[in-house]
Every structure is written in C-alpha cells, then in structure tokens.
Amino acid sequence: MRIIADLHIHSRFSRATSKELNLENLEKYAKIKGLNLLGTGDFTHPLWLKELKNNLTEENGVLYSKSGFPFILQGEISLIYTQGGRGRRIHNIVLAPSFEVVEQINDALLKKGRLDYDGRPIFGMSCIEFVELMKGTSPDIEIIPAHVWTPWFSLFGSMSGFDSVEECYGDQSKHIHALETGLSSDPAMNWRLSFLDRYSLVSFSDSHSFWPWRIGREATIFDIKLTYKNLINALRTKDGLTATIEVNPSYGKYHLDGHRNCGICMTPKESLQNRNICPVCKRAVTIGVLHRVEDLADREEGFKPEDSKPFFSLIPLHEILTKLVGAGISSQKTWEVYNTLIEKFEDEINISLSIKKEELMKAVDEKIADKIIENRKGNIRIQPGYDGEYGYPLFDEKDIKKIKKIEIKKEQRGLGEFIP
C-alpha cells in the first residue's frame, strides 16, 4: 500500500497556529494535498487529546476518523537545557502506539512541568534524559529529532546544536533511527555526512496551518500495510520507506546565512570572508543550514550512498500559481485556478508529479502547465531563504532584475570584502 505521510504537524493549541486547525480541516486539506496519513500533532495538550479521543477510533495503533482517514498519535517536545557549557534547544517528534501510552507519556511529563499552555511544551531536561524517560514508558514510542539543521532549535543547529547524534543523545543514541531533514536541507545535502548513513531520512511539514502550501509541503512515502508496528519498522530499518517529497532547500527559511533586519543574505563563502559578521550592522549573522552542512561534511557534493532513497523536489503548487496569476497566495483568483486543477486531477501531489502537460492544458493555460512541468523537473530557480525569511521562486526577467539590484546593493555595502 502506498502511503504518503506527513507525521509532523500541529493543532490550534500550539503557538503561532491557525485557530481553524481542527481534525475536520486537517482531513479535508490532507486529501486535497494528496496525503493519506497524518500525525495528530500536539497529543500532550489536554484539550486537543480530548478532541482526538472523542473523534478518532484506534485500530492496530492507527487512529481513524469517522470517514476512515488515518492518523498516527504524534507530538513535538521542546527541550531547553545546558550541556557542555552551552545552552541547547532541541525539538523532538514523538510517535506513540495508543491513547493508553499517550496517557503514560503525559503522566511522566507532568512530573517535569506543565502541558496545558502550549501544544509544543518546553522542558528543561536533556535529550538523553528525555529519550530515557520515553523508552522507560514504552519501547514502542519512537523519537525523531526534528528539522535537524534549523539554527535555533535542532540537533545540528548552528545556534544551539551538536556536531553528532552521539554528542546530543549519548547512550540513548541507540534509540534514534530516523532524522527529519527540515525544509532548508534535502537528502542530497545529508548524504555528504557519512555518519548519517545509518539513519532513515524523513521529511514532514511541521505545518502550523492546514493550507495546502503548508501541510504536506514535505512528506515521506511508505510502501507498507498500515499498522503502527509496520510504520515504526520502516522508520527503524528503512524497509518499506520508499521516498520523500521535499521542497527545494533554498525555499527553506534558513538555507543560507544572513541578517534579516539588514536585508543581508550570504553564501557560506561570503560569510567566512566577513568572519560571519553582517557588513551593515557589524553583528553576527545567523549561520544557515548549508553552512553547517559544509562544516560537518566529509564527502564532496554529489555523493550518493548505495542504500539512499529517492526524493522528489517540489515547490507547493500555490507558490507557482500565485506568481503566474499575479495575486496573493490565498486570494480568490489563486484558489480558482488551484481548485480547477484539483477538480480535474483529484489532488496536488498527483498534479505536481504525474499529470502530463497535454492533460494539464485541459484545465489551465500553457504557461501554467509549463511551470508545473518545470517544477516537477526541478528547473525553477529559487531565491534562497535566510534568517527566518522563506525563499521564493524566480520566474521571469523582472524577477532576475530584482535580484541583480539586490546583488548590486550587497556589493555597495561591502559584502564579500574582509571586515576586521
């Protein structure tokens, strides 16, 4: 059975999330996106957990809605602590096999702090302590380090992370089997680090809304009979994990280095030339994902491990359409074109990966059809994201001229020159 899964999402009880994030909308837009398995998000929050219990039924570790759409019990935990003389901030995805085990998890966490103030609660324990606590609760719990390269809250993040899995998780590293690559990196970037070969590389959206340009923007494809046990086995062994759907890593908010307040975006080489200092305000820049990968890589770009899984690189369809129709991403004009495609071809992933140009042109004009095909081939140029700013697609000469103006401004500011 082909399963396209997004196992890292949030509910409306997490900070900075849509107030409309409920099970009904999650199911509706998951189907529109082309997903057929979702994480529940936020199972540690008492009000959200109550909703899950009232609306979903358990079978073989999978929860089903009244219409039969499947969910996996999932939450995210933020750990903020000190280790090795540095402040650490690490996010972990947690998967659980049943409501009974979730109750045990929540009971254990309540001894460490509160759960009712945020869907992604914060605790002051180390990753070593956390994994030990989870595995002591149930060996069937799975912990996946979240968005492992993001600067501020991740395993390898430049601001608070570590240089290896073992440095972070210690003797509990044996329980870590999969890593979430995050929006700003893709599998090819992670293949450059030989010590990551043994881990399953997974991609999920970390969505804070149900809109199709957020939910399922990254996903993992499995070929298994859907049970919790089979899903966890695929994560732990790679058997049954067949591919991932990624965004171009330049689209991510932290791909390159930079300083958003000053409008400065730099490649790792440019950052090093400037001693990682912003040439405008003379403060430290945020070191992005590509820079950290370069720091830790022991292989050249382009290396591919023998057992690597394929991946598809796609910009969300709304991001393509909003540029082409000249309207906002959530505007009625953009939705009209999007809905025309969905009505004709069922779901976004199918449109983005499978539908031929000739068929697409039965629903949209040739310009839109061409861009969908270019997206499929990975031929859409992206102005990279940095320091919390998403990257964005460049489609025409107007976009290119805009970027050239930015490059000229960077040169005028002294970017690329040595700054003492």
Give a yes or no: residue 171 inside a domain. Answer: yes
User: Domain tally for the chain?
Assistant: 2
pLDDT digits (tens, 9 = 90+) for 332-381: 999 999 999 999 999 999 999 999 999 999 999 999 999 999 999 999 99
Which uninterrupted H or E stretch holds 392? Answer: strand 392-394
**Residue of 13, 6, 81, 17 whose CA lies nearest to 44:** 13
Helix residue spans in 173-239 (DSSP H): 187-190, 228-237
Q: Cα separation of 187 and 359, whole Å?
A: 31
Give a yes or no: residue 311 inside a domain. Answer: no
pLDDT digits (tens, 9 = 90+) for 96-132: 999 999 999 999 999 999 999 999 999 999 999 999 9
Does one domain contain both 73 and 201? yes
Does one domain contain both 358 and 245? no
pLDDT digits (tens, 9 = 90+) for 123-163: 999 999 999 999 999 999 999 999 999 999 999 999 999 99
**Residue of 283, 270, 273, 277 whose CA lies nearest to 418:** 273
Does one domain contain both 321 and 235? no
Q: Cα separation of 383 and 386, whole Å?
A: 10
Does one domain contain both 210 and 76? yes
What is the domain range of residue 323? Answer: 317-377
Give a yes or no: residue 403 inside a domain. Answer: no
Does one domain contain both 228 and 351? no
Does one domain contain both 221 and 115? yes
Does one domain contain both 128 and 54? yes
Residue 77 sits in a domain of what CATH number? 3.20.20.140
pLDDT at 403 (0 to 100): 58
Does one domain contain both 243 and 327? no
Domain-ending residue, one of 339, 360, 377: 377
pLDDT digits (tens, 9 = 90+) for 221-276: 999 999 999 999 999 999 999 999 999 999 999 999 999 999 999 999 999 999 99
Contacts with 286 (C-beta within 8 Å, 6 or more apart), sequence order: 151, 158, 159, 254, 257, 258, 259, 260, 386, 387, 388
Domain-ending residue, one of 208, 230, 251: 251
Does one domain contain both 202 and 84? yes
The predicted model scores a pTM of 0.94
What would the mean pLDDT of 291-309 be, rounded to a whole number? Answer: 96
| pLDDT classification of 415: cutoffs 50, 70, 90 | very low
**Residue of 62, 17, 18 whose CA lies nearest to 40:** 62
Q: Cα separation of 357 and 76, whole Å?
A: 40
**Residue of 406, 248, 221 whose CA lies nearest to 319:** 248
Helix, strand, or coil (residue 412) = helix
pLDDT digits (tens, 9 = 90+) for 8-56: 999 999 999 999 999 999 999 999 999 999 999 999 999 999 999 999 9
**Which residue is it, tokens 């396209």?**
4
Give a yes or no: residue 139 inside a domain. Answer: yes
